[in-house]
Amino acid sequence: MLTPKEKAEEVLRENNLSKVPIDVVSLAQRYGFSVELNNQLLSNVKGRMEIDPAKQRKSIEIGPAAKNYEKSREVIAHELGHYFIHYRDSQKAEFRSDDTNDVQERESDEFARTLLMPEVNTKKAFQFYEKNQERRAEMIGAICGLFAVSEDFVKKRMEELKIALV
């Protein structure tokens, strides 16, 4: 079985996604998902992914806990992680995502980080800004803009790829 990272890299390859920011909404739609905001979800819920084969329904909903554009993108990528890693074909399924630290949540987060910040693009971007000797805060801000993700997300990805700034 592929690791979450390997699975995300496979999805990027199969969809010819090599430029950032990754268009995660189009990607979800390509796999048949509708993507919607849903304020009715509980306040701690970031997102929900639901598949109902009988009704031919596949949806990703973004909850109140994902408040801005960047967080919404991260949630969609995370829910796609559940789809590619945990979903079994033709079954009815529902995943609700919050900040609980269980295995499936961690795996989906890892998938999302690789999907939205592919390793090659991320390393290249950091090298570029390092060469230009930007200050640390400005550099992280620029990386957030380039990949359209939040600062927390960038910092976690930096830890994962062992990118340290001086």
111: DSSP letter: H
Query: Which residues, in sequence order, are CB contacts of 163 under 8 Å at separation 6+?
Result: 122, 123, 126, 157
In the complex with Zn ion, the residue whose CB is nearer, 9 or 105, is 105
Smallest distance from Zn ion to CB 92, Å: 17
Tokens read off for 38: 């849903």
Site stretch for Zn ion (CB under 5 A), options 11-19, 56-64, 102-110, 139-147:
102-110
- Taking each helix axis from N to C end, the angle separating 136-147 and 119-131, rounded to the nearest 10 degrees, works out to 140
- Interaction between residue 97 and Zn ion (CB under 5 A): yes
Residues 14 and 40 sit within 8 Å (Cβ to Cβ): no
Per-residue binding letters, 10-49, with Zn ion (x by CB under 5 A): ----------------------------------------
- Interaction between residue 108 and Zn ion (CB under 5 A): yes
Smallest distance from Zn ion to CB 30, Å: 20
In the complex with Zn ion, the residue whose CB is nearer, 105 or 110, is 105
Residue number, nearest CB to Zn ion: 97
**β pairing state of 57-62 and 34-37:** parallel
132: DSSP letter: T
Q: Which residues does residue 34 pair with via DSSP β-bridges, in sequence order?
A: 59
In the complex with Zn ion, the residue whose CB is nearer, 46 or 126, is 46
Residues within the interface to Zn ion (CB under 5 A): 97, 105, 108
